[in-house]
Structure 1
Amino acid sequence: MKNIYIIGVGLIGGSLAKDIKKLDPEVIIHGISRKQTTLDKALSLNLIDKKATLEDIVNADLVIVAIPVDTTVKMLPMLLDKIPETGLIVDAGSTKKDICKVVENHPKRRNFLASHPIAGTEYSGPEAAISGLFEGKTNIICEVEKTAFKLQEKALKLFESLGMRIRYMNPEAHDKHIAYVSHLSHISSFMLGKTVIEKEKNERDIFDMAGSGFASTVRLAKSSPEMWTPIFKQNKVNVIETLDEYINNLRQFKQFMEQDDFEAIYNEMKDTNYIKQILEGIA
């Protein structure tokens, strides 16, 4: 793959660009963005070799789409119209059902691979791009059987070269599971930040008392609303289900507090400590 076009040269797109260039210095990475300032910054940071437009992807060997999921849904059919028969489009969206649905009957469906590299930070933009972001991370691939074998083979080889573990899942299962392990985490962080900000209006010293526990829990509240609002919208049904379960657990905890049932609270926390074993098994 000589000509790679990255649409959205931010944290994910920019980090992919850095690692791909490190793997193969001869590859030419073209950046596409609706903002010229983003492309200027990406050039100055050596994330891309050239600026490009959507019209240029007729020359692409690989197109990586790393933009908000609502824009991906709108743009993907048009991108498939333009991609050459030998080219492949890969997305990095955090939802998969709507993205897969919009191209299910496209004549060039075989030129698209639905993926979700589960990696990132709370930062955004070209400045957020870092080397090695995907090392040891899971990349979920959906509907791999709908992608031409030779094209999927090239993409999977690239992902593995970047250090990713590959997992296969259907779009519906992906969206359901990711609502628990990612989307709910972000909502919790945003709402904790909101609660503390509102309280801080009356108690100015609250942030002076905030330790590393608060900082780590609220870290995701620094994430981009432009990216996360469309994710919540596309995965609305699953997100509401996870919120119902989460709110029920919070209500139960509150009830234990009101009843001075600290033995129950202890048992709740002790039982939940099992998550350490689960996470150690993943690491």
Structure 2
Amino acid sequence: MKVAVIGLGLIGGSLALDIKKAFPTCQVVGLDNNKQNVSKALELGIIEAETLFEDLNSADVVIVSIPVNSAMDLIPKVLDVINETAVVIDVGSTKSPVCNVVKQHKNRRQFLATHPIAGTEFSGPDAALLGLFKNKTNIICDVEKTAPQLQKRALKIFEAIGMNLRYMNPEAHDKHIAYVSHLSHISSFMLGKTVLEKEKNERDIFDMAGSGFASTVRLAKSSPKMWTPIFQQNKTNVIETLEEYINNLNHFKTLLQNDDFEGVFKEMEDTNYIKQVLKGIY
């Protein structure tokens, strides 16, 4: 099996490493617009060789792991050049836009829309991690629109690297992911912004920051180049979640203004239920 990975950053690079380990005889090659990423991926052993776009027709599996706006343009072109037995796997964080783009493509049944729920705040080939996807969830969208034999090939890869599979339609995926991923990134970015603005006048504020602050703003180190297109593509759902989040923040502020600390306690006590929801996950 020959696997071509387009986009050799955190997700693409980590997939390449896990696939190489799970399938020792598999040939993993890579393609990236940034030649430094290609050189680094070769140096780190993430890929065995660089490939060219025109050589993608020799691959059995093509994984597209690039910013979602770029993927919209590239994936139809990849579907144009692959051979008739290959599968193209998208791993972006939004699913409805890309599924709509390819729905009329003549090779639509060779496309599989997925979203591996894994990652860190770092980017580039240096961020690639062996085992990143073990016990993580992979959302598969519109699976019935992919040819059965190609579904089987792709799912075999995901299962071999230790992922748990769930199935959703693209619209449900985008709505739910706005709450559990996109909102948390915005919250982290804006908390970081708030503290940075305060830090202009109080240089020692970061000396007082503990592990709670560090973990809360960790996502603010994520790549704006990757996240801006995600927010753009999922704008409607993201705005809805922001409105709900802002309403909750304003409610909490009102409780404080009114010295309603019984209400403050109850808000936090009720929210402690999330420990039960997330038990066994984190």
TM-score of the superposition, structure 1-length normalised?
0.99
Provide the residue aligned with 1:60 in structure 2.
59
Partners of 1:281 and 1:235 in 2: how far apart? 29
- 1:137 alignment counterpart: 136
State the alpha-carbon separation in 2 of the partners of residues 259 and 220 from structure 1. Answer: 33
Q: Residue in 1 aligned with 2:189? A: 190
SS in 2 for 1:46: coil
Is residue 157 of structure 2 the alignment partner of residue 158 of structure 1? yes
**Post-superposition offset of 1:282:** 4.2
* CA distance in structure 2 between the partners assigned to 1:123 and 1:257 by the alignment: 36
Residue 281 of structure 1 deviates from its aligned partner by 5.0
Q: Structure 2 CA distance, aligned partners of 1:93 and 1:64?
A: 10
Specify the alignment match of 1:15 in structure 2.
14
- Equivalent pairs counted in the alignment come to 282
Distance (Å, rounded) in 2 between the aligned partners of 1:73 and 1:192: 31
Alpha-carbon offset, residue 272 of structure 1: 0.1
Deviations 1:110-165 (A, max 9, x none): 00000000000000000000011001100000000000000001111110111101
Provide structure 1 residue ranges, at least 5 long, that are not aligned to the other structure: none
2:146 corresponds to which letter in structure 1? T
1:164-192 deviation digits (Å, cap 9, x = unpaired): 01000000000000000000000000000
Give the equivalent residue in structure 2 for 1:114. 113
Q: Quote the offset at 1:54 in angstroms.
A: 1.2
Matches within 5 A, 1:1-283: 2-280=1-279, 282=281
Q: What's the CA shift string for 1:172-228, capped at 9, x where partnerless?
A: 000000000000000000000000000000011100000000000000000000000
Which consecutive unaligned segments of at least 5 residues does structure 2 have? Answer: none
Deviation of 1:24 (Å): 1.7
Q: CA separation in 2, counterparts of 1:201 and 1:157?
A: 52
Mapped to 1, the partners of 2:260 and 2:53 lie a distance apart of 61
Q: What's the % identity of the aligned pairs?
A: 65
Cα-Cα RMSD: 0.7
Post-superposition offset of 1:84: 0.7
SS class of match (2:93)? coil
Distance in 1, Cα, partners of 2:34 & 2:121: 21
Structure 2 length as normaliser, TM-score?
0.99
In 1: Cα distance, 2:76 partner to 2:191 partner: 38
The list of structure 1 runs, each at least 4 consecutive aligned residues, that deviate by more than 2 angstroms after superposition, is: none
Return the letter of the residue paired with 1:92.
V
How much has 1:3 moved relative to structure 2? 1.1
